[in-house]
């Protein structure tokens, strides 16, 4: 009888998850095929970054030149993950296969729904996984960004793969999973390098949170770093050979320099944005500490998370019908981050959220910075809802 009940419950979970996945996929494909824009950057249908990513990928395929905002001179202005992803699609389907790239992203975004479910399930049971998957399936910006040639969709997918590999590695205690987590982390930061400095975070966390063998943990971290370096090595070698310099990640630094003050258009041009930026922020902290701290914490957070980041498109009532979902995920997710002080199930995930936001506050604030964090907030928010429900019912948290 018990086995029969378990089989029915498993069947229900699979069917419900499949419906969530197919709903999310259908919306993403709808936006890929039906939503288009005109007269954006240089009169094209691309935004600024989209335009240059597309052009960059075409140059890689047609001329073998890797350079951002250039046709002939190679550079390392951006990390190669997303341009190479686009170039791979263009190489197979032709250098104008923009719709194919968007369709691939729609599927990656939909498969991210499954990954969110798996991570939520592993952390705290099926209910958490299903609710979190439901959130990311219908959250408008996640759907909307899958049709843009931007890094968000690929980054979210790879980060979720990395995090899934990570929690699997610590659960199964096998070095091969740590190696795979290292590979996935490198692939993730090659798309968006923001979280590079969080490389040792899970192992530092495990060192203090776990009573397991510390020497064994060091060996696992070594395996993780080996996997990471294996993926990074071609990029490092390319920069040494082509540019005659070692570039760890990329050379772009203007998001930091122009993020120091709110009215960044008043800043003078700089030949060394990182050095000038460090001097400028130090001066502002000395001369106007309250104003500077207020801008970095309140001002930037309000810009990033104050409203969901998408462009309203005529005829798509769907976007407005779930507009409050953004705030619901934010509120419940933030409660989850605070609750993680006492609940270890989502503690590491919450640390990633806090530190990622902390790094984002160093740069120019834009609404799209919120998009990659919302799947993590969704898991924490789902945890909170299940925690409250089960506390009222007196049921165990994990099921």
What confidence score (pLDDT) does residue 232 get? 98
The residue among 255 and 125 whose pLDDT is bigger is 125
Asked whether residue 332 is assigned to any structural domain, the reply reads: yes
Asked whether residue 77 is assigned to any structural domain, the reply reads: no
What confidence score (pLDDT) does residue 274 get? 78
How far is residue 102's CA from residue 108's CA, in Å, rounded to a whole number? 10
CB atoms within 10 A of CB 121: 19
The pLDDT of residue 60 is above 60: yes
How many structural domains are present in the chain? 1
The pLDDT of residue 18 is above 90: yes
Read off the pLDDT of residues 319-372 as tens digits, 9 standing for 90 and up: 666 778 999 999 999 999 999 999 999 999 999 999 999 999 988 888 889 999
How far is residue 134's CA from residue 255's CA, in Å, rounded to a whole number? 33
The secondary structure element, H or E, covering residue 128 is helix 126-138
Nearest to 105 by CA among 148, 64, 47, 63: 148
- What residue numbers bound the domain in which 215 lies? 2-34+97-246+261-393
The pLDDT of residue 223 is above 70: yes
**pTM surpassing 0.75?**
yes
Return the residue matching tokens 């980041």: 309
How far is residue 362's CA from residue 296's CA, in Å, rounded to a whole number? 7
Asked whether residue 327 is assigned to any structural domain, the reply reads: yes
Asked whether residue 351 is assigned to any structural domain, the reply reads: yes
Q: Per this entry, what is the length of the chain?
A: 399
Residue 396: band (very low, low, confident or very high) from pLDDT cuts 50, 70, 90: low
How far is residue 14's CA from residue 20's CA, in Å, rounded to a whole number? 10
Asked whether residue 364 is assigned to any structural domain, the reply reads: yes
The pLDDT of residue 189 is above 90: yes
Give the distance, in angstroms, between the CA of residue 67 and the centroid of all CA atoms in the same chain. 23
Structural tokens at position 109 = 């975004």
The pLDDT of residue 42 is above 90: no
CB atoms within 10 A of CB 384: 24
Q: C-alpha distances in angstroms, 373 versus 98, 112, 330, 332, 367?
A: 26, 13, 10, 14, 11
Q: C-alpha distances in angstroms, 161 versus 111, 115, 156, 371?
A: 10, 7, 9, 17
CB atoms within 10 A of CB 261: 16
Structural tokens at position 287 = 């001369």
Read off the pLDDT of residues 236-255 as tens digits, 9 standing for 90 and up: 999 999 999 999 999 887 67
**DSSP-assigned letter for residue 341:** T
Q: What is the average pLDDT value for the chain, to the nearest integer?
A: 89
The pLDDT of residue 4 is above 90: no
Which range has the worst mean pLDDT, 135-139, 187-191, 198-202, 271-275? 271-275
The pLDDT of residue 291 is above 90: no
Opening angle at CA 46, ends 41 and 47, nearest 5: 60
What confidence score (pLDDT) does residue 246 get? 95
Cβ proximity of 268 and 371 under 8 Å: no
Residue 121: band (very low, low, confident or very high) from pLDDT cuts 50, 70, 90: very high
Q: What is the mean pLDDT of residues 34-58?
A: 88
Asked whether residue 226 is assigned to any structural domain, the reply reads: yes
Which range has the worst mean pLDDT, 34-43, 55-64, 158-167, 380-389? 34-43
How far is residue 129's CA from residue 298's CA, in Å, rounded to a whole number? 31
Asked whether residue 239 is assigned to any structural domain, the reply reads: yes
Asked whether residue 256 is assigned to any structural domain, the reply reads: no
pLDDT over 90, % of the chain: 64
What confidence score (pLDDT) does residue 315 get? 60
Q: What is the mean pLDDT of residues 362-390?
A: 92
The pLDDT of residue 38 is above 90: no
Contacts of 17 (CB under 8 A, 6+ apart): 114, 117, 130, 133
Cβ proximity of 29 and 103 under 8 Å: yes
Backbone angles phi, psi at 118, to 5 degrees: -60, -45
Residue 72: band (very low, low, confident or very high) from pLDDT cuts 50, 70, 90: confident
Q: What is the mean pLDDT of residues 363-389?
A: 93
Structural tokens at position 141 = 């910006």
């Amino acid at each position: 009888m018990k086995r029969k009940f378990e089989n029915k419950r498993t069947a229900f979970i699979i069917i419900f998850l499949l419906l969530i996945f197919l709903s999310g996929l259908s919306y993403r494909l709808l936006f890929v095929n039906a939503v288009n824009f005109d007269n954006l950057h240089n009169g094209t249908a691309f935004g600024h970054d989209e335009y240059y990513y597309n052009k960059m990928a075409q140059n890689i395929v047609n001329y073998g030149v890797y350079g951002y905002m250039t046709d002939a001179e190679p550079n390392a202005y951006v990390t190669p993950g997303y341009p190479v992803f686009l170039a791979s699609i263009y190489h197979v389907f032709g250098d104008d296969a923009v719709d194919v790239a968007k369709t691939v992203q729609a599927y990656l975004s939909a498969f991210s729904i499954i990954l969110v479910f798996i991570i939520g399930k592993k952390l705290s049971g099926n209910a958490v996984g299903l609710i979190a998957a439901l959130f990311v399936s219908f959250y408008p910006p996640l759907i909307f960004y899958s049709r843009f040639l931007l890094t968000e969709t690929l980054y979210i997918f790879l980060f979720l793969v990395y995090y899934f590999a990570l929690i699997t590695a610590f659960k199964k205690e096998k070095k091969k999973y740590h190696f795979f987590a290292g590979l996935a982390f490198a692939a993730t930061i090659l798309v968006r390098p923001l979280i590079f400095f969080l490389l040792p975070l899970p192992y530092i966390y495990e060192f203090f949170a776990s009573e397991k063998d510390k020497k064994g943990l060091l060996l696992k971290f070594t395996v993780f770093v080996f996997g990471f370096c294996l993926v990074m090595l071609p990029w490092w070698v390319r920069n040494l050979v082509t540019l005659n310099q070692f570039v760890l990640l990329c050379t772009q630094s203007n998001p930091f320099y122009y993020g120091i003050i709110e009215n960044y258009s008043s800043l003078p041009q700089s030949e060394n944005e990182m050095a000038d930026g460090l001097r400028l922020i130090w001066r502002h902290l000395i001369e106007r500490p309250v104003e500077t701290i207020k801008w970095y914490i309140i001002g930037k957070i309000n810009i990033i998370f104050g409203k969901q980041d998408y462009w309203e498109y005529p005829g798509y009532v769907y976007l407005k019908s779930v507009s409050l979902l953004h705030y619901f995920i934010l509120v419940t997710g933030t409660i989850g981050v605070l609750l993680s002080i006492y609940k270890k199930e989502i503690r590491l995930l919450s640390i990633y959220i806090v530190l990622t936001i902390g790094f984002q506050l160093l740069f120019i604030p834009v609404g799209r910075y919120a998009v990659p964090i919302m799947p993590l907030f969704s898991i924490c928010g789902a945890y909170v809802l299940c925690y409250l429900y089960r506390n009222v019912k007196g049921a165990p948290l994990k099921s």
